[in-house]
Amino acid sequence: MTARHCSLPPQPAPAYPPGLAAERLGALIGGRRLWVNGTVLHYCFSGDTAGSEIAVPGTGRTRWVSWGGAEEQQDVVRECFEEWRGLGLGLTFTEVRDRTEAELRIGFQLGDGTWSAVGRDALRVGVHERTMNFGWDLTAPGERATALHQIGHALGMLHEHQSPYAGIHWDDEAVYAELAGPPNHWSRDRTYHNILRRLGPDEVNGSVWDPQSIMQYALPPGLILEPEQYHGGVYPPGTLSPADKEFVLRRYPPADPPRPPPLVPFRSVPLGLGPGEQADFRIDPPETRDYTVGTFGEADRVVVLFEERDGEPRFLAGHDDGGTAHNAAIAARLVKGRRYYVRVRLYSAWGPGETAVMCW
Ligand SMILES: [Zn+2]
């Protein structure tokens, strides 16, 4: 019996100008889905008032379907956020009730498939739309893995069986036929996009295939021709594998130091970052006025400004200069007596000079 599978919609293609150096482009593709470390991801369950019109087959009519899930469904997802957080990530998760405050908006619309936006792609989704959906009962045996897997997508992870390092030689037609049948009923496009399509080397979670990963589908016998030992199928345990943990901890290391150094107006601070690394600063504005936080040097990076509210950093503004000739700059009104955090994550740098950050 085939498992029901998560089916990701095609991810929006990044619009980078042609002619970027391969190394620069690779760093952008690999880094653009990741959140800056230290982000508090707010999630909400869409609730009874949220929903969408669904076509009723053969009638030409639509009916209203709520996204809301029962408390016991929501509890499975809450526990799974807690399991990821418990690894000691530098990201945290907080449940909120107002969906306009939430980066992650989670629905439980049966029959709409199970899927999630990947990492920061969630920010491109309208605030009244879901970024994640569960299309079947999460309280059934083994379905906890489904929630862990979707949160993996929300953290920026893609499917492990699509790793170019897997070296999987698929029986393509067997895969199409299997997924076209119950319970998935997928089109060829959907099957290609979620299974057969190979990811680029910059998109994968790790440098070797991890068949134990939570991001690996369980697959029945007869779909994989090579490697031979997977003729009989792939049966991941449905838990976070050691490589899953290593990946997220490398991308989202525990916040250290807990108190980032100050960024003092008009004083430029060298960043000294390697690819994928991040530097954090705090700003305690000496006066209330409009400030600019800007970066210098030949690099691609994302800069995010947070304001501390109720002891928690809340997103205020961000600028991703990846793939452009510009440096990131954020203009914002900062209030004396409040605290702000600046987080800079580097995709890649080139050229002889240091990269730096300053506020003025
Ligand atoms: Zn998936």
CA-based nearest residue to 150, from 210, 107, 90: 107
Determine the distance separating the centroid of ligand 1 and the alpha carbon of 144, expressed in angstroms: 13
Predicted pLDDT of residue 64: 65
CA-based nearest residue to 219, from 229, 231, 227, 207: 231
Predicted pLDDT of residue 239: 95
Q: What is the pTM of this model?
A: 0.83
Question: Rounded to whole angstroms, how far apart are CA atoms 29 and 156?
Answer: 11
Determine the distance separating the centroid of ligand 1 and the alpha carbon of 10, expressed in angstroms: 12
Determine the distance separating the centroid of ligand 1 and the alpha carbon of 244, expressed in angstroms: 14
Determine the distance separating the centroid of ligand 1 and the alpha carbon of 195, expressed in angstroms: 10
Mean of the per-residue pLDDT values for the chain?
Answer: 88
- Nearby residues of 79 by Cβ (< 8 Å), 6 or more positions away: 144, 147
Determine the distance separating the centroid of ligand 1 and the alpha carbon of 158, expressed in angstroms: 7
Determine the distance separating the centroid of ligand 1 and the alpha carbon of 122, expressed in angstroms: 15
Determine the distance separating the centroid of ligand 1 and the alpha carbon of 150, expressed in angstroms: 6
Determine the distance separating the centroid of ligand 1 and the alpha carbon of 86, expressed in angstroms: 21
Per-residue pLDDT of the chain (360 residues; tens, 9 = 90+): 568 899 988 776 777 777 878 777 777 777 888 999 989 999 999 765 566 666 677 788 876 666 778 899 999 999 999 999 999 999 999 999 888 889 999 999 888 899 999 999 999 898 888 999 999 999 999 999 999 999 999 999 999 999 988 889 999 999 999 999 998 999 999 999 999 999 887 788 777 889 999 999 999 999 999 999 999 999 999 999 989 998 999 889 887 656 889 999 999 999 888 888 889 999 999 999 999 999 998 888 889 999 998 888 888 888 888 888 888 899 999 999 999 999 998 888 887 778 899 999
Determine the distance separating the centroid of ligand 1 and the alpha carbon of 317, expressed in angstroms: 29
Question: Rounded to whole angstroms, how far apart are CA atoms 30 and 92?
Answer: 21
Question: Rounded to whole angstroms, how far apart are CA atoms 334 and 342?
Answer: 12
